Amino acid sequence: MSEQPPHLPLPSQQTDRRTWRSRIGAWDRARSARLVVTRHGDARYGLAWLGAHLGDGYLWFTLAALGLWLGDDPLRRGVLLWIISMAVGGSLTTSSKFILRRQRPQEQHGFYSVKYDRHSFPSGHATRMGAVATWGAILFPGYAWVFIGVSLWTAWSRVALSVHYLLDVVIGLTIGVATSLLIFAVTGGRV
């Protein structure tokens, strides 16, 4: 029996890895399918459509710009860190999409650029909303529930409209929260 070079996995390891990925993929597709709403006859469709667009970048960057313009110094510092978190998280997400190239559940017009954003994993909207939830809770602790609620609504909506799978949004939220907490910690945990 000839040995394979140490840097190549054995055939059994390749099969195990594919099986593991296919099992997770099947689980993700099945859970995601349970959350899908249809356009016809489902009252949740309008809520999903609105929620999906509440995660759009232009909305949150506009609100951040207002915070920079109208806020006092501590708010401006916090908003600047929020913007940095969204930019870093967005860069990680976009890079991951181009490397992993997971196809979306269905092609949907008006929810992403088919030319520039055709891959689904991880969700950029969920990454942004993870940052929104984290910085919203830090900057406006009395309204943390609003930021967290809107973020979860957006994540559910992306799955409900078949723009993403469930794990796309879970990992996206995780990237947004983790990036924000890391930036908060690196800057001394103060706003």
Nearest partner of 163 among 130, 120, 122, 124, judged by Cα: 120
- Please give the share of the chain, as a percent, with pLDDT higher than 90: 28
Higher pLDDT pick, 71 / 115: 71
Q: pTM for the full model?
A: 0.78
Whether omega for the bond prior to residue 11 falls within 30 degrees of 0, making it cis, is: no
CB 168 within 8 A of CB 154: no
Mean pLDDT is highest, among 12-26, 72-86, 102-116, for: 72-86
pLDDT of 155? 92
Among the residue ranges 43-57, 98-112, 157-171, 176-190, the one predicted with the least confidence is 98-112
> What are the structural domains of the chain?
11-186 (1.20.144.10)
Average pLDDT, the chain: 80
pLDDT of 5? 46
CA angle 42, 169, 111 (to 5 degrees): 60
